[in-house]
Structure 1
Amino acid sequence: MLKLTARQEQILRLIRDAIEKTGFPPTRAEIAKELGFRSANAAEEHLQALARKGAIEIFPGTSRGIRLRDSFASRSHSHAHTLLKDNPDAHPIMHPGAMQMTLPLVGRVAAGSPILAQEHIDAQYTVDPTLFKSRPDYLLKVRGMSMRDAGIMDGDLLAVKKADSAKNGQIVVARLGDEVTVKRYQRSGSLIELLPENPDFEPIRVEAGRDEFALEGLAVGLLRSWN
């Protein structure tokens, strides 16, 4: 194992902190801003060096495609944005020797019914559980681009762990009346804000205990598919 420089150790800590706080690694732009780099290219150079030294894996095609190698993920389980084919039955996402895990894919959710009701399940995906920060319970197909700047795109499959509470800054799946939405969670007193990651969308504000609101789960990973 190659020794890391002080700057590389700093970036590795930043990645761990972001995963611990939000469940997602930082973007290059976020790393650059945090460490005072002039551009995201400088952050990319350091990430490539960390990848060459075996500290991280980089997955192309997404701004948050960073996974901590197991030996460097000391404060949290490793996490990845994983890229996969559209056909879930044809290509299971597995590492050699890993235990298989099958997750239901939830499509559109009918008003007033449980998110994991059988009629909502579109498919089953077999994946490697070590890809995720925490063990997910299901995959949810993302609709729309409100979380674009968090690297979550329309059509992505969000890995979700069932939960009825969240910390500020975490990305959550929430139910608002008849709608299920993916947003960043922020609470101050009784006011809950569901924050988009796209300036074209407005925050959603709800009063805890007053509005028809419920947390369905926490985002713990992302699968991106394409034809």
Structure 2
Amino acid sequence: MATLTPRQQQIFDLIRSSLQHTGFPPTRAEIAAKFGFSSPNAAEEHLRALARKGVIELTPGASRGIRLKVSRSDSELPDQFSLPMAGVMQLTLPLVGRVAAGSPILAAEHIDRQYQVDASVFDVQPDYLLRVRGLSMRDAGILDGDLLAVKRAGEAANGKIVVARLGDDVTVKRLNRRGDTIELIAENPDFPSIIVQAGREEFSLEGIAVGLIRPGAF
């Protein structure tokens, strides 16, 4: 890992901690508030310095578009990867590609491959990785082709990013329950939210997002 200044190390640690505890990086405004910067622009300068040193990757136009860089060693198998500062404990997670209509998300025919991931990067251990399709969650830093780490769950608190099944479709959205109404919120103004009445048979939760990996970084 590149040599960082004390402040850069603090910001890097904040990003890593946020990913571990929430599954998503902080915004520039959150970084500025944490360290007492006068504006988010100051946070942006530190992030650009970290990007130049090769320890993070920035996604233009996304408020949470910050990725920890993924490193790959020659000793690893082709279908495996590890994150920076890997620990001893490793998880082997199935990668789910396209989900066929009406079938279980972890059905054997949906599994593209197995990935080995450093367990220490997740505060909550995921059960599988889901390949993201589309840009409806762009402003949460979730892009087309990303690997979303998911913990299987049938319930989730408001504000959590979830994997939900709507009829024959599986989608990733932010959950908001209001009485008997379920709102699945997109993190991109180009995409509308989805409104579902609670109790409808075609809606179910498949899991909660607990982390994110961008495979193009290795």
Interval of TM-score (by shorter of Structure 1 and Structure 2) = 0.7 to 0.9
Counterpart of 2:24 in structure 1 is 24
Q: State which of 193, 209, 213 in structure 2 corresponds to 1:219.
A: 209
Q: State which of 111, 117, 132 in structure 2 corresponds to 1:127.
A: 117
Counterpart of 1:204 in structure 2 is 194
TM-score, with length taken from structure 2: 0.75
Q: Closer, same or farther in 2 for the Cα pair 1:207/1:34, shift >3 Å? A: farther
- C-alpha distance in structure 2 between counterparts of 1:15 and 1:138, whole Å: 20
Q: How many residues align?
A: 197
Structure 2 gaps, min length 5: 1-5
Identity %: 60
TM-score, with length taken from structure 1: 0.72
* 2:58 partner amino acid: G
- C-alpha distance in structure 2 between counterparts of 1:207 and 1:84, whole Å: 44
Counterpart of 1:65 in structure 2 is 66
Contact 1:186 1:195 in 2 (8 A): yes
Q: What is the SS of the residue equivalent to 2:162?
A: strand
- C-alpha distance in structure 2 between counterparts of 1:211 and 1:32, whole Å: 44
Q: Closer, same or farther in 2 for the Cα pair 1:222/1:16, shift >3 Å? A: closer
Question: Which consecutive aligned stretches of 4+ in structure 1 deviate over 6 angstroms post-superposition?
Answer: 14-19, 33-36, 46-49
Structure 1 gaps, min length 5: 52-57, 67-80
Deviations 1:46-84 (A, max 9, x none): 6799x8xxxxxx622344537xxxxxxxxxxxxxx5536
Counterpart of 2:81 in structure 1 is 92
Q: CA RMSD in A?
A: 3.4
- C-alpha distance in structure 2 between counterparts of 1:98 and 1:138, whole Å: 20
Contact 1:185 1:193 in 2 (8 A): yes
Q: Closer, same or farther in 2 for the Cα pair 1:144/1:17, shift >3 Å? A: closer
Q: Closer, same or farther in 2 for the Cα pair 1:84/1:163, shift >3 Å? A: farther
Q: What is the SS of the residue equivalent to 2:70?
A: strand
User: Deviation at 1:178?
Assistant: 0.5
Deviations 1:110-154 (A, max 9, x none): 111110000000011111011112101000000000000100000
- C-alpha distance in structure 2 between counterparts of 1:31 and 1:18, whole Å: 13
Q: Closer, same or farther in 2 for the Cα pair 1:100/1:140, shift >3 Å? A: same
* 2:40 partner amino acid: A
Contact 2:95 2:113 in 1 (8 A): yes
For residues 23-62 of structure 1, what are the structure 2 equivalents within 5 Å? Answer: 23-32=23-32, 39-44=39-44, 59-62=56-59
Counterpart of 2:70 in structure 1 is 83
Q: Closer, same or farther in 2 for the Cα pair 1:202/1:84, shift >3 Å? A: farther
